[in-house]
Amino acid sequence: MNDFDGLDSTSKRVALAVLRQGPVSRADLGRMLGLSAPSLTRLTKPLVARRLLVEGEPVAQNSTGRPSVPLDVNASRAHVVGAKFVTDTLFAVVTDLKGTVVASHKVQQEFPSPESAVATLEELVLGWAAPWHPVGLGVSLGANVDADGNISRVSFLGWPDSPFRDLLAGATRLPCVVANDVHAFALAEHWFGFGRGCTDFAVATLGAGVGVALVCNDELVLGQAGRAGRVGDVTLDDGRRLRDVAVTSVVSQHVEAALGSALPTHASSEDLARFSHDPRVQVVLDDVARAMGQLVGQVCLYTAPEKVLISGEDAGLLRNHQTALHDGIRRYVQLRPEQIGIESLGFDEWARGSAAMAIRAHMTPRS
C-alpha cells in the first residue's frame, strides 16, 4: 500500500512540498503553501508520527527568536525502481524517495519487442530489486509516450506502438510510469539536481539523438501525446538541421572526414574525445557547440528558463568549446555563465530520471 494513500489531499501537498524543498522550516513551508501555522502543525503532526516526515536539528533563527526545526522527507521510507532502455542494454537503479541511488544493475542483451523488455523487467523487479520492496517502477526510453503510457515512434529500439505501461503493470504488479527519456531526466534534474529550486528550467541533450525538455511554471511540459522536445529538425541559422550537425553518428562522420581515417564502428563520446585536441577535430566540435548554443538560445527566447542544463552522453565534448557554445546562444539571448550547466552523465543517471517519475507518482496527490 502507498504510505500516502490514507492522507487527505492537503497533507499530500505538504509532503510533496517538503520533498521538493526540504529540509525546510514550518514557517517557510506555510508561506509556500499559503497555510497558517496552526493548520501546518495539524497537518505535519501525523506525517511526523508516521515517519513519513522527519525533524532535523533545531536551527537558531536569531539572538531572540525560537529555534526552527526543519522538516524533511524520510527518504528511506520507500524505494522505487528506475529503468532506461538503449539499443542493447537495460540500465536499472533502485533509489530512495529523494532520488539517491542505492543500487544499480545492467542487463546487456537485445530487446526486439516491448514484450521482451517487459519480461526482463518483471524478472528484475521480482528478483534483483525485491529486497528493497519497491513501491513503484519508472521506465524511460527514446519514444513518444502519451498520458496513458502508450509508446510510439520507438525509433532507436525499432519497436511497434504498444500499451507499454499496461504491459508492465500487469507483469510486475507495481504502479508503473512510462516516460520519454529526456522528460524523465529533466524531472530528476528539476527536483534533485541542477534545476532544483527553479520554477522555469530547460534541459537539452546531446548524444545518439538531440532533445529538449522544458519545465514551465514548475510543471514538466509533455506536449500532445508526449511529443514535446523532439528538436532534431530545428533549423540553424545557416539552414542546416540540428540533427545533421550534432548527433553522435554525424559527429563521428565529420571527425572521420577531418582526420582522413575511420573511427571505431559505433564510435562513442570517449572515442571522439581521444581526438578532441587535434585542431581539425576542434573545428568540428566548435560547430557542434555552436549548433547546440543556437538550440539553447532559441529555447530561451521562447520559454525564458532560469537555468539550462546541457547533458547527454556527448555533452562532455562541449566543455572545451564553450566560446562557440555561447556564441550560438548570443545569437538569440544573453545568459549569465551560472545559468548554463554542462554535465556528461552515464545511463545510470537516465535510469534515475525514470525513478524520479515513479517517485512523483508515489508522492503526488491522486484526484
**pLDDT, position 189:** 97
Cβ–Cβ under 8 Å, residues 19 and 98: yes
Its CATH architecture, for the domain 197-342, is 2-Layer Sandwich (3.30)
Q: What pLDDT is recorded for position 225?
A: 87
Grid cell in block for residue 143 = 519514444
As a whole-number percent, the residues of the chain with pLDDT over 70 amount to: 96
Calculate Rg over the CA atoms of the chain: 22
pLDDT confidence tier of residue 2, bands split at 50, 70 and 90: low
User: So what's the pLDDT on residue 75?
Assistant: 95
Q: Does position 344 have pLDDT exceeding 90, yes or no?
A: no
Q: How far apart are CA 248 and CA 303, in angstroms?
A: 27
What is d(CA 253, CA 45) in angstroms, rounded to the nearest whole number?
61
Is 332's pLDDT higher than 70? yes
Annotate 120-152 with DSSP letters as a single string. HHHHHHHTTTGGG--S-EEEEESSEE-TT--EE
Helices then strands, counting H and E runs in the chain, come out as 12, 14
Alpha-carbon span 258 to 274, nearest angstrom: 14
Q: What is the reported pLDDT for 274?
A: 83
Which cell numbers hold the place of 106? 545492467
Same fold, 79-187+349-363 and 197-342: yes
* Per-residue pLDDT band at 5 (split at 50, 70, 90): low
- 4 or 179: which leads in pLDDT: 179
User: How would residue 122 be classed by pLDDT, with cut points 50, 70 and 90?
Assistant: very high
Residue 366 has pLDDT above 70, yes or no: no
Q: Is the pLDDT of residue 342 over 60?
A: yes
Measured CA to CA, the distance from residue 151 to residue 344 in angstroms comes to 27
pLDDT digits 0-9 by tens, 33-80: 999 989 998 999 999 999 999 998 888 766 556 778 899 999 999 999
Average pLDDT score, the chain: 92
**DSSP notation for 49-82:** HTTSEEE---B--SSSSPPB--EEE-GGG-EEEE
Instruction: Name the grid cell of 361.
Output: 507518482
Find where cell 582522413 sits: 260
pTM beyond 0.85: the answer is yes
Q: What is the pLDDT of residue 268?
A: 75
In this prediction, residues 288-304 reach a mean pLDDT of: 97
Which range among 3-7, 96-100, 337-341 shows the weakest confidence by mean pLDDT? 3-7
The predicted-structure confidence for 216-254, as pLDDT tens digits, reads as follows 999 999 999 899 999 999 999 999 999 999 999 999 999
Maximum pairwise Cα distance, the chain: 73
d(CA 99, CA 19): 10
pLDDT confidence tier of residue 99, bands split at 50, 70 and 90: very high
Instruction: Give residue 64's pLDDT.
Output: 56
Mean pLDDT of all residues in 190-199: 96
pLDDT at 241: 97
CA distances from residue 222 to 157, 163, 166, 231, 353 in whole angstroms, order as listed: 21, 18, 20, 13, 15
**pLDDT(150) > 80:** yes
For the cut 60, the answer to whether the pLDDT of residue 367 exceeds it is no
Topology of domain 9-76 in CATH is Arc Repressor Mutant, subunit A (1.10.10)
Write down the domain spans for the chain. 9-76, 79-187+349-363, 197-342
Q: From 122, 136, 129, select the one nearest 171 (Cα to Cα).
A: 122
**CATH code for the structural domain at 79-187+349-363:** 3.30.420.40
Q: Calculate mean pLDDT across residues 182-196.
A: 96
